[in-house]
Structure 1
C-alpha cells in the first residue's frame, strides 16, 4: 500500500444507483460478460429478456447481447448496469481497466450526484471535473474520492489529469537537482516526504548512472542522448516502479 498522507475523517459511502445513458460508453470486458453468462447457464435470449422485463430496456434483443460479447458493440452506461444486474455481478466486473474519472465511477456503480455529495462538491462542478479529468479538491476531498472509488495512487494521478505535470517535474528532477523537486512533486502525489525523497533520489541515480554507463561504453553522446530521451519519455512509469520497489 502506498504511504499516502490521508485525513482521518471520511464520508460514508452512498448507495449505488443505476447509471444514466451517456454518449461515450465505458470500456467493456466482452470476455467477462460471456464467462459470467455461461457460468449462470444462461443463453443470450435469457439475458435480453431479463434486461427488457426487469430493467426497463425494451429494445434489447439477443443480437445485442451477442454483439457485446463478440466485442463488435458496447453497452451504454445504463445498459451495462442492467446487464450487471441480470448477470448478478457488479458493473466493475464488466468493465475493462478504467481510464478516466468517469469510468472509475461507473466501475463502482455510483451516480454522479452520489460522488459529488460524498466528496463535498456541487454536482455541476463535479461533472465539469469528469469532463476535463481535472480534479479540483482539497486534500480531504481528494482522500474521499480515492477511498470512494478505490483508486490506487497511479490511477488517482491519471484520472485527475496530473500525469503531464508529474512527468514534467520528474524530468526536471532527474536531470538537475532532485532535492528541489520534492515539494512540487508532493503537491501532485500526496506521499510521505521521506518516502518521496528516497524515490526521487533513486530515480535520479538511475538516470545519471544509466547515462554515464552509456557514455563509458563508447557509444558517443548521440547514443547516450537517445537512451536518455527514451528513459525520460517513460519517466512516470519508472517513478511508479521505483515507488513500488520501495514498498516491498
Structure 2
C-alpha cells in the first residue's frame, strides 16, 4: 500500500538484537492486539507507518525494529527497551540495552564522541586499561560481556582450547590476563575443564566409539568451551564486573 513502509526482509544489521518472544509475551500480558500496539506507536510517537502487520512481523522475527521504533514499542508496552532486546553482544547493543546516550558513555570513558562512535561502528574497542575499566562500570558489564565487547573472546577460546588439550597449569596466567579472576578460582576451573575434556575423550573410546567418535565428541566440547568456562566460573565464584582488565 502506497505510503506505508514495509518491513525489511532481513533485520537491519545496525539494529539491536530484538527479543521477539518477549514483545509478544508483554503485549499479550497487557491484553493488547497488534492493532492496539500499532495505534499507540502512531498516536503517541508519530510513527505513522507502523501497522498491525509490521508489529506482527517484528513478533515473528521477520523484521526488527530500529532504535526509534524500539523506544516507541517499549513505551506502548510499558517496559524498558532492555526488556525487548536479546542478549547484547556488541558495545552498541549493550549501550542501547541500558538506555544510555553515546555522549554519556564517551564522557565516562574519557573519549571524544566521534572517536567513541567509531569504535561502536567498527565493533573494535581500543580503549586503554583505565578507559576499559570505566566502560565496564558505565555499562554495568559482567565479566563475560566485558570480554566479548572488548574483542577478547576469540583469544580466550584459543587459550582455553590449549589449556584443556595440553597442560592447563601453563595457561593460568595467560587466561587471567584476558579474564581477570581470582587465581584460586581460575586454577580450579581450568583443572576441572581439563579433566572433563580428557575424561570425555577417554569415555568415548572405552565405549567402543573409536577415535573418530572421540574426535567428534572432543570438537563439540571445544566448540562450547567459552560458555562452559563461564558457567564453571559462575558456579565457583559468581560473575562480577571487572575492575582492572589487565590485572592478574
Fold agreement, TM-score > 0.5? yes
RMSD, aligned CA: 2.7
Within the candidate set 214, 223, 247, 2:237 is matched to 247
Which structure 2 residues correspond to residues 92-241 of structure 1 after superposition, within 5 A? Answer: 92-216=82-206, 219-241=209-231
TM-score normalised to the size of structure 2? 0.77
Q: Quick one: distance in 2 between partners of 1:161 and 1:228?
A: 25
Q: Which protein, 1 or 2, shows the higher relative CO under an 8 Å CA cutoff with sep ≥ 6?
A: 1
TM-score normalised to the size of structure 1? 0.77
What's 1:81 paired with? Answer: 71
- Gaps in structure 1 of 5+ consecutive residues: 1-21
Is residue 81–residue 109 contact of structure 1 (8 Å, CA) maintained in 2?
Answer: no
Q: Quick one: distance in 1 between partners of 2:19 and 2:207?
A: 46
How far apart are residue 223 of structure 1 and its match? Answer: 4.1
Residue deviations 1:123-172 (CA, integer Å, cap 9, x gap)? 23322322333322344433333333333222222233222111111112
What number of residue pairs does the alignment pair up?
A: 227
- Gaps in structure 2 of 5+ consecutive residues: 1-11, 239-248
How far apart are residue 101 of structure 1 and its match? Answer: 2.1
Q: Quick one: distance in 1 between partners of 2:53 and 2:59?
A: 10
Q: Quick one: distance in 2 between partners of 1:107 and 1:239?
A: 25
